[in-house]
């Protein structure tokens, strides 16, 4: 009998454990961030939440007490910020630098909270934390009220589509729990947030350090009738608000282990899919049906959003990484031209006309910001004119990609409407963007292919067309060498045209100045003109300082691989100043010319130029002859070569 009782108890205990595990697995998950200005108490708040939720082991509490006495800022009290600020630099300075993620759970739901930094130079980290959040707790120091970072973080939170916001007015203990202070800050924020796209704003007076209104309502602020912070978080409805999107799956990998299997792997972004469903592969619009769905190691009949799956299709369609598989009757949009919001995260400014890598979903493309419409003043939310975006600035920009993509606007899908911006030279992530809408008229413009093509035009001229791109400092000899070269080519009966830096500024680029942004646009236009002239079968001699590698790379990528010849006309600044044929260096030294390359604006030497002509050592005549030899060897002077 005793053995039977013991067996039944074990069975009951096992059932209870299974029930508990199932209950924990079925709890909803809320991701939220804490943000705001420096020293508003974000880390302290999260530490207090973890402490009051009784999620710390005894040894963690004892260690926290010891650390608080050693390096804490709260005297004999526990410094809860130390639970989150893990970096040594953070503890030394008493600030948050990186994004710290913490998990905790209550009776009602599970949480992942991102503690984001308040310093302006780490705004990029704050945006990273906000990009996956369902809600935001924006802290405000009751002593100081709204700060610039409060405005900036609020705007970014709104821009990133977070609808549920709690304005936690912290450190109420330091203003004697004064209701009038709370009401004044609330009124200020209500005025500011009128233009933001929040669905719900809740105002809450708290003291993170003392624990007031964190897990339970505070007796020190009986005048506040609302719930405490944790009950508020428990009640936030983070369910997907827009369920109208159909099945969407960006293709991450084409799985082809053998000749008998071809599967398309990815994570479902929205909707659900079943065996037998009709689907379309975008952007190339190839139709098929689902023949099998594999989830993990199992074949399943249906899969839904959030699941990582492998799809088999009935037909051998053209589908590769970066494509989108969608429901046939509920397709994504397709475009290569967009108006977008951009959060700029680099010390180097965003310059319209410069080429960047754009990573969206599972693909990376080349993209150019064709026009900066305006930037946003984060304090007033007013639009202001701008020619570039600086670090931490937000702007509305037109973006052109090198090929069409399947997408959704950001308001409908965070996954399919967002992208990151990558520097083509350093491969650093330098910005984040959100698609507002397609520039639909751009999608109706198509390249007209005439019957007479570039090869036919080149053949009749008995030459291979190319762009000879002369780059170097002012006074290095670019125009002189290009002029001599054109004479030699003309004497051979070759068809050429020289695009000189000064000449194009009399017409094609007369509206541009000499700022970095204008220089980028100047080179972009010249590159496009060079492309058209090469299509006409010409040898194009482009003589420009073109100081930035990225713009020279953009010009190169406009053409076929064998049509761009970069010629670095090399000379020291001292040599260029001695020549100074136009007196420009002297004016720049006197401060009469701003943004002058070599004096107060930098020049990036070519890394892989086809030719380097050192005009410190060789005459212009000798340099021109070096180019002729190169063109002969490479077969540019005879179309049959």
Residue 550 to residue 369: CA distance in whole angstroms:
14
Peptide bond into 283 cis (omega under 30): yes
| Helices 478-491 and 620-633, axial angle in degrees (round to 10) | 50
Within 10 A of 232 (CB to CB), how many other CB atoms are there? 18
Residue 546 a catalytic site member: yes
Give which of 608, 448, 462, 468 is closest to 534, Cα–Cα.
468
Residue 515 to residue 387: CA distance in whole angstroms:
9
CB 478 within 8 A of CB 485: no
From 438, 546, 550, 601, active-site residue? 546
CB 353 within 8 A of CB 369: yes
Q: Any idea what DSSP says for residue 530?
A: H
Residue 138 to residue 122: CA distance in whole angstroms:
16
Within 10 A of 438 (CB to CB), how many other CB atoms are there? 18
13 Cβ contact list (under 8 Å, min separation 6): none
Residue 399 to residue 10: CA distance in whole angstroms:
64
Within 10 A of 239 (CB to CB), how many other CB atoms are there? 8
Give which of 369, 345, 343 is closest to 356, Cα–Cα.
369
Helix (H, G, I), strand (E, B) or coil at 125: helix
Residue 256 to residue 414: CA distance in whole angstroms:
30
Per-residue b or e along 161-197, where b marks 16 or more CB atoms closer than 10 Å to that residue's CB: bbbbbbbbbbbbbebebeeebbeebbeebeebbeeee
Within 10 A of 355 (CB to CB), how many other CB atoms are there? 22
Rounded to the nearest 10°, the torsion over CA 617, 618, 619, 621 is: -170
- What does 359-381 look like in DSSP terms, one character per residue? EETTEEEEEEEEEEEEEE-TTT-
Catalytic residues: 546
């Amino acid at each position: 009998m005793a053995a039977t009782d013991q067996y039944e108890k074990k069975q009951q205990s096992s059932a209870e454990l299974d029930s508990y595990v199932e209950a924990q697995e079925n709890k909803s998950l809320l991701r939220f961030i804490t943000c705001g200005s420096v020293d508003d108490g974000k880390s302290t708040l999260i530490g207090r939440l973890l402490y009051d939720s009784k999620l710390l082991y005894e040894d963690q509490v004892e260690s926290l007490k010891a650390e608080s006495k050693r390096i804490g800022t709260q005297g004999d009290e526990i410094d809860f910020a130390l639970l989150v600020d893990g970096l040594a630099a953070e503890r030394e300075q008493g600030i948050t630098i990186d994004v710290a993620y913490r998990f905790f759970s209550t009776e009602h739901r599970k949480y992942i909270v991102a503690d984001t930094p308040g310093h302006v130079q780490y705004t990029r980290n704050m945006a990273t934390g906000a990009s996956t959040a369902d809600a935001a707790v924006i802290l405000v120091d009751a002593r100081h009220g709204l700060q610039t970072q409060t405005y900036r973080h609020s705007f970014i939170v709104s821009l990133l589509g977070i609808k549920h916001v709690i304005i936690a007015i912290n450190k109420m203990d330091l203003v004697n729990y004064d209701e009038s202070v709370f009401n004044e800050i609330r009124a200020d924020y209500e005025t500011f947030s009128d233009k933001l796209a929040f669905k719900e704003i809740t105002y809450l007076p708290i003291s993170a350090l003392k624990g007031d209104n964190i897990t339970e309502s505070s007796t020190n602020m009986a005048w506040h009738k609302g719930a405490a912070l944790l009950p508020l978080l428990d009640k936030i409805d983070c369910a997907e608000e827009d369920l109208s999107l159909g099945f969407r799956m960006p293709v991450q990998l084409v799985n082809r282990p053998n000749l008998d299997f071809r599967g398309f792997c990815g994570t479902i972004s929205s909707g659900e899919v079943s065996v037998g469903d009709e689907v379309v592969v975008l952007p190339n619009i190839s139709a098929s049906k689902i023949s099998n769905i594999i989830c993990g190691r199992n074949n399943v009949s249906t899969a839904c959003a959030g699941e990582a799956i492998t799809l088999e299709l009935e037909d051998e369609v053209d589908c590769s990484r970066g494509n989108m598989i969608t429901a046939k009757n509920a397709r994504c949009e397709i475009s290569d031209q967009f108006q977008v919001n951009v959060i700029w995260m680099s010390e180097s400014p965003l310059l319209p006309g410069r080429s960047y890598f754009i990573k969206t979903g599972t693909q990376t493309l080349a993209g150019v910001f064709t026009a900066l419409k305006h930037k946003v003043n984060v304090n007033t939310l007013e639009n202001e004119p701008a020619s570039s975006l600086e670090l931490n600035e937000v702007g509305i920009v037109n973006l052109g990609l090198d090929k069409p993509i399947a997408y959704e606007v950001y308001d409908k899908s965070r996954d399919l409407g967002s992208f990151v911006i990558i520097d083509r030279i350093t491969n650093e992530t330098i910005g984040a963007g959100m698609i507002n809408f397609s520039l639909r008229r751009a999608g109706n413009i198509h390249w007209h292919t005439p019957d007479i093509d570039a090869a036919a035009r080149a053949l009749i001229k008995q030459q291979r067309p190319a762009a000879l791109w002369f780059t170097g400092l002012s006074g290095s000899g670019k125009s002189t060498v290009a002029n001599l070269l054109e004479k030699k080519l003309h004497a051979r009966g070759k068809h050429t045209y020289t695009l000189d830096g000064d000449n194009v500024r009399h017409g094609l680029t007369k509206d541009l100045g000499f700022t970095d942004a204008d220089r980028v646009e100047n080179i972009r236009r010249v590159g496009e003109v060079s492309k058209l002239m090469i299509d006409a079968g010409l040898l194009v001699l482009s003589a420009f300082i073109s100081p930035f590698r990225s713009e020279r790379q953009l010009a190169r990528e406009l053409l076929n691989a064998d049509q761009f010849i970069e010629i670095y006309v090399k000379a020291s600044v001292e040599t260029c100043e001695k020549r100074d044929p136009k007196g420009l260096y002297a004016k720049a030294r006197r401060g009469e010319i701003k943004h002058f390359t070599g004096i107060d604006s930098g020049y990036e030497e070519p890394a892989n130029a086809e030719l380097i002509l050192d005009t410190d050592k060789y005459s212009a005549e000798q340099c021109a002859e070096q180019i002729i030899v190169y063109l002969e060897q490479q077969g540019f002077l005879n179309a049959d070569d």
